[in-house]
Chains A and B, each alone.
Chain A
């Protein structure tokens, strides 16, 4: 029973934190967009009914509140059940991923309550052996959300947006899985906490050992969160709003928030899988038994890394143009998938024979692994440059049949 309430408190804190973070990071993103585009940005809304501006910190509350006072409107031509189900699936799935994602290490106390687990682990579902598979499965539900809302809207823009979104999410899920497999292969576990402590104990973060896997996971994570270089599904200039063209009011809010949460998920996974989670050299230690300062420091380090990653996402969004759809699909299937396979095969071979090689050459095992990893990245980079079509003319080529007809 106590465990039930402990879980409930964690869930409440986590959901409240995520929602607040999403609201305020939207404000941060708008500031950043303003800074990049050399304009002022939101700086007016402060305390209501006064003239205090507070640098626009009241903006998220005003925006959020406005969504609730909009008409909860359902167009006449939609498939009502699916129309409501789409955003609900998206938001539920986007939140539910965080059940296994740790947002710190442990707290060294039970707050004087007998029967609580000690130490309190800062994750809603601790010790989930199949954590990464769960993340992968629930994250994949986003495809259903996009497809359902696109189909149910019974609108041409929505249908095209939904199809594009599904194709994109589905294509980039494969490189994402290959990137994760590399980490699993090294850590020998699917549990995110174990993966962090594995990196903390060896002191080498995974992006140093398998940079190619990191690059693949990073790009695929970007694509899965559907933000600007990859926002083909809702490209305003072609498809109005993509699969949420027919949505308004709080259902639009749900879709927007879940898209933002996808970015959080990607950032958390990047930090946990490749940047050591809560670990930082000489600061946080690596043991399971901690004191209060260390416990808090670990939370701060983890969230700080996540924040930096999110800021990078934002800078990338406001500095890159959008892909074309054939480029998007080509990148997923013709570049990332083969490179992901290469990374995994090199890693598997190295794990089989690496120890013997390291002993024969007298290098330390970690250093040799890192050397192999960066060598693979260099080879992959050169191969892509060598085989990629010339960039001087990257217009889409017409098929011979069309050329014949149009001649």
Chain B
């Protein structure tokens, strides 16, 4: 983990450094017109932060649901793939890998059961998508 935190630190330091250098080098000529919001040269009519379209909110909710569901699939994909890779070359692996290891330890009954479970999960995902679609979340008019 250390390299990643170091990298984050370096990147953040670069950002701060850029701002500081630019502050030191640049000129400073403030003015009342310069401080106004840019609106193609017109005087702004009202506050910018007004109500906006509800669809953005619905979209964010739909995204949240699907993204979390996708996250559930990552562990399965890794475990399934590892078991499959060891199947391709049984001589190279000494112990069962991935899902096979889970089966060998008695955590699940068989790989078929997991496969069926994942398929049910996919069907649920598809049903959710169909529901959102029928509700018109993806319709932008």
Contacts and interface: CB of A to CB of B under 8 A. Distances in A.
Which DSSP category, helix, strand, loop or mixed, fits chain B's interface? helix
Interface residues of A, number: 90
A383 B64 CA distance: 28
Contact of B73 (A100, A181, A351): A181
B35 A75 contact: yes
Contacts of A181: 70, 73-74, 77
A178 B88 CA distance: 24
Contacts of B126: 338, 341
B85 A198 contact: yes
Given A170-B60, A177-B70, A184-B74, A155 B85 contact: no
Contacts of B132: 333
Contacts of B11: 15, 91-92, 95-96
Given A156-B39, A170-B63, A73 B22 contact: no
A99 interface: yes
B138 A334 contact: yes
A133 B70 CA distance: 11
Interface size class of B (residues with CB under 8 A): 35 or more
Given A84-B19, A134-B4, A154-B48, A189 B82 contact: yes
B107 interface: no
Interface of B: 1-4, 6-8, 10-12, 14-16, 18-19, 21-23, 25-30, 34-40, 44, 47-49, 52, 56, 59-60, 62-63, 66-67, 70, 73-74, 77-85, 87-88, 97-98, 111, 115, 118-119, 122, 125-126, 129, 132-133, 137-141
25 contacts: A7-B6, A8-B6, A10-B3, A69-B27, A71-B29, A72-B23, A87-B15, A99-B4, A99-B8, A125-B3, A133-B74, A134-B4, A153-B37, A155-B38, A167-B60, A174-B70, A186-B81, A188-B84, A188-B97, A188-B98, A333-B137, A334-B138, A348-B119, A352-B115, A355-B87
